[in-house]
Amino acid sequence: MTFLSEAISRGVGRQSLKLQEHAPKLLFGGGVVGMIGSTVLACRSTLRLEEVLDEIKFDLNTAEAIREQHSEEYSESDLQHDKAVIYVRSGAKLAKLYAPAAAVGVISIAALTKSHTILQERNTALIAAYAALDKGFREYRARVVEKFGEEQDQEFRYSSEVVVEGDSKTKKKPRTRVNVDDGPSIYARFFDEYSEMWSKEPEYNKLFLQCEQNWANDMLRVRGHLFLNEVYRRLGLDHTTAGSVVGWRIGDGGGDGYVDFGIFTRDGSALRDFVNGREGSILLDFNVDGVIYDKIEKSREDIGWQR
């Protein structure tokens, strides 16, 4: 019995976890269906509205007729009292007529609101988790650089290989070469013919990328922040989920303070091949500062002196 009880508990727990995972979708779907149902119920109630209004009109006319025929026994105050009773009863009939549609509508709005709230809370938690992870990684790299130097940091971060310099006539000397190109960041994208901004003219592509990098830096200085998706859009690249929350900002010095596409400051061989037409694509590795979604207001304060 104990084993059976534990199995049932685990099954219920798994189903509960699945419901929690898909709660936003279920609530949103239920809310949409509910709003459609509320509209249908309201339309059906409206078809019966004329009947209810006719009853109200009939009762009022009857009270007026009694007042005219029996003015001595049925005073004006009695008429006003009966009219008030008719209006109250009529209001109750109208409320009862539209109550189902209103109830379904309220429940649907509550479901949509709850769905939005859950997603907002999850997004906030994800952003906070990513920001903490990014901060920890930056601090870790800073400690590595401080203790071992930048070269050792590059070896730890990227793949490396030991090569021997010199020839048979000279003394050969082993040296560690870091393959930086083997480890682009998760934000790196290829600029090639799949981009609508790409051109068959190699020199144009270089000029275009340089101009877009200058635009991005100008926008960063003027506005104080810039999202990665904004740069993707200017380059004709698809948006990403991460690109909607990460980017650059002017602020507390946590980032580089400028936008770099990662092609004009690296080893020039890849750029030369790209410009000369020997290579049709080039890898853009953006130096984003991390999550800036929750720091936009601080960026505006930091550039407030420019206003």
Task: Delimit the domains of the chain by residue range.
Answer: 2-145, 184-306
- Give the pLDDT confidence score for residue 305 in this predicted structure: 45
Euclidean distance between CA atoms 10 and 302, whole angstroms: 52
- Give the pLDDT confidence score for residue 113 in this predicted structure: 92
Euclidean distance between CA atoms 191 and 301, whole angstroms: 35
Euclidean distance between CA atoms 101 and 38, whole angstroms: 5
Residue 224 token pair: 């104080």
Instruction: Average the pLDDT over 178-184 and give the result.
Output: 50
Q: Is the pLDDT of residue 9 over 70?
A: no
Instruction: Average the pLDDT over 220-229 and give the result.
Output: 89
- Give the pLDDT confidence score for residue 271 in this predicted structure: 65
* Between 165 and 84, the higher pLDDT residue: 84
Q: Is the pLDDT of residue 88 over 50?
A: yes
Residue 282 token pair: 């080039």
- Give the pLDDT confidence score for residue 213 in this predicted structure: 93
Instruction: Average the pLDDT over 187-200 and give the result.
Output: 87
Whose tokens are 């006719």? That residue is 54
User: pLDDT-based confidence at 173, cuts 50/70/90?
Assistant: low
Predicted confidence (pLDDT) per residue in 240-270, tens digit: 888 888 889 887 656 778 899 887 655 556 6
Least reliable range by pLDDT among 101-115, 118-132, 149-163, 237-251: 149-163
Instruction: Look at strands 282-284 and 189-191 and give their pairing.
Output: antiparallel
Instruction: Average the pLDDT over 200-223 and give the result.
Output: 89
Q: Is the pLDDT of residue 211 over 90?
A: yes
Euclidean distance between CA atoms 261 and 270, whole angstroms: 13
- Give the pLDDT confidence score for residue 86 in this predicted structure: 84
Q: Is the pLDDT of residue 11 over 70?
A: no
Which of 35-39, 173-177, 283-287 holds the top average pLDDT? 35-39
Whose tokens are 């310099």? That residue is 165
Average pLDDT, the chain: 77
